[in-house]
A = this chain, B = another copy of it.
Amino acid sequence: MTVGSSPNSAPFPVPPMRWDAWGDPELAAPLSEGTSTLIRGMLGVTGETTLPTIDPATVIVPPSRLSGEDLAALRAIVGDDWVSTAAVDRLLRASGKSTPDLLRRRRPHQDAPDAVVIPASDDQVGQLLTWCTDHRVAVVPFGGGTSVVGGVDPVADGFGATVSVDLRRMDALLDLDEVSQVATLGAGVTGPDAERLLGERGYSLGHFPQSFRYATIGGFAVTRSSGQASAGYGRFDDMVQAITLVTPRGILQAGRSPKNAVGPDLRQLIMGSEGVFGVVTRVAVRVHRRPTATEYEGWRFDSFDAAAQAFRAVAQEGVMPTVMRVSDELETALNLARPTEIGESGDKAVPGGCLAITTFEGSPTAVAARAGVVRETFAAAGGQSLGPGPAQMWEHGRFSGPYLRDALLDIGVGCETLETATTWARLAEVKTAVTTALAAVLPEPTVVMCHLSHTYATGASLYFTVVYRQEGDALEQWLAAKHHVTTTLTEVGASITHHHAVGRDHRPWMSAEIGDLGVAVLSAVKAVLDPAGVCNPGKLI
């Protein structure tokens, strides 16, 4: 590994996940020769695969643009051990985990922040922001590094350097109010650590996005994360009671009571701010006692439309499961045919149609009552119960999806996800429009699967997985498809993202989504909190 200026030679302990792929190398799941041949054959991939992974020894990272004096100043703020310009540390915070990110990681020249700085307190974050403002250095807040929209890209945007501010030292359960069931967590607490810290006291947060194993509390807040149990426990923005934002202008502390009428809700302005207003350091969230009862039930519906109508009926009735999701016909078929899962598809077969799963958590009484209402609604809507198996199996494998993408890239197959939200009335139209848009740009046969995993009374999210044959410049190929499909979303009136956030990748469509005046409002807020514009430039607005 070619290192620029590198005063620290050792990487920090407990590094984030792999720099060029998802997650834990131990859990990587390369495809068998047979499966690989099958998939390549189906998609028409021929000859040598594009995009080999890169030997870390050949990576070229530009030297840090920060001077020795700069680094001494940063060390004076956070402590000598918590500033690094080692290439390995910088690379580990150089991007998120979108497919474009993974494709870029396979190139010899890598962009990276000029230093990684790890503060331990609001005060240190404040001092960092002041120093960066005074020295015109851009600040990129870093949590788990799981962004799939370029949210942690080291964009200098006219500033002299970029500093990745990793929140991992702010990793404590700071307070647990067991009466109000509110936990205050440091922004750097990861999903598993939140569950561990709360679990020791008998509580759970219940926020399980696909990024759960790496992503952090601060990241959940600034990206409006939505977890797999959103039907029961709400989106992360529903859970947040109070939030602390350290800005170059001082600390903005929002949320003095669960709900109130004291003007606009500033929590909802900080959430979704993606680091452009400052650094979220602490979040007070609603938690719940660990459930004493859990029920699982899978359902078969004849079609995605029939399932969506059943989900709509449940959401509009207002008695919800904890988890409720349904795959469309294609995703149902392909999931059941997954190489590792054939023959394990639960206790009943799903002959065609769509597989839905529900989970109910709570007290025995509440679980029974809720499950009873949902069961009646699903049955009335044509659903056939499949017993607990499919839901249990889904829960077992629910965080492993991203590893498959790396394995596919290794055999020249592109794979990416994208998502949107819309009203029930527009759901079918939006699903068709996205599928058509992807098929129009990507080579035949492109596989577009979809599931509905976040359900509201008035609408739902749609989550798409696209698998296709890579051709030509694989990065350009996907970016063209992404551009086309995002423009299509704005044209059909759906949102450009339901829970992936905006970052760098969706930013060009912000005016289409919230209007020029909406962008002007967010820019005005940024101007008052971050007058020099050093906070995560090039993102969101």
Q: Which residues of A contact B (CB under 8 A)?
A: 177, 179-182, 223-226, 232, 235, 237, 241, 247, 249-254, 256-266, 268-274, 286, 288-289, 312, 316-319, 362-363, 365-366, 369-370, 372-373, 376, 420-426, 454, 456-460, 493-502, 506, 510, 513-515, 517-518, 520-525, 527-529, 540-541
Contacts and interface: CB of A to CB of B under 8 A. Distances in A.
B528 A180 contact: no
Contact of A260 (B224, B252, B260): B224
B257 A263 contact: no
Contacts of A459: 180, 257-258
A-B CB proximity, top 9 nearest:
A268-B268, A257-B421, A180-B423, A260-B495, A524-B528, A224-B261, A257-B495, A258-B456, A369-B369
Contact of A422 (B257, B288, B498, B520): B257
Copies of this chain in the oligomer = 2
B514 A521 contact: no
Given A286-B458, A288-B316, A524-B528, A262 B510 contact: yes
Given A182-B423, A257-B423, A264-B271, 17 more contacts: A179-B424, A180-B426, A235-B259, A247-B517, A257-B498, A258-B421, A260-B496, A262-B495, A262-B496, A262-B506, A264-B268, A265-B269, A265-B271, A266-B514, A266-B521, A268-B268, A524-B525
Candidate in A223, A261, A262, A273 with the most chain B CB atoms within 10 angstroms: A261
Nearest to A377: B365
Contacts of A365: 372-373, 376
Contacts of A457: 181, 258, 286, 288
Contacts of A506: 262
Contacts of A288: 316, 318, 457
B522 A524 contact: no
A366 B272 contact: no
Given A180-B458, A497-B261, A318 B268 contact: no
B261 A223 contact: yes
Candidate in A181, A263, A459, A527 with the most chain B CB atoms within 10 angstroms: A263
Contacts of A524: 524-525, 527-528
A245 B382 CA distance: 42
Contacts of A180: 423-426, 458-459
A426 B179 CA distance: 9
Contact of A268 (B269, B289, B501): B269
A220 to B, nearest CB: 11
Given A261-B226, A265-B272, A521-B528, A182 B252 contact: no
Given A179-B424, A266-B521, A458-B182, A226 B259 contact: yes
Contact of A259 (B262, B270, B421, B521): B421
Contacts of A273: 263-264
Contacts of A181: 316, 424, 457-458
A254 B517 CA distance: 10
B257 A420 contact: yes
A55 B151 CA distance: 66
A274 B264 CA distance: 9
Contacts of A274: 263
B226 A263 contact: no
Contacts of A522: 263-264
Contacts of A262: 272, 495-497, 502, 506, 510, 513-514
A227 to B, nearest CB: 12
A252 B316 contact: no
20 contacts: A252-B517, A253-B515, A254-B514, A254-B518, A257-B459, A258-B421, A258-B458, A260-B496, A261-B497, A262-B506, A263-B514, A263-B522, A264-B271, A265-B271, A269-B269, A365-B373, A369-B373, A523-B528, A524-B524, A524-B527
B510 A520 contact: no
Given A457-B286, A528-B524, A517 B251 contact: yes
A272 to B, nearest CB: 4
Contact of A495 (B253, B256, B316, B514): B256
A498 B259 contact: yes
Contacts of A253: 515
Contacts of A528: 520-521, 523-524
Contacts of A226: 259, 261
A237 B267 CA distance: 14
Given A362-B317, A372-B369, A521-B528, A498 B260 contact: yes
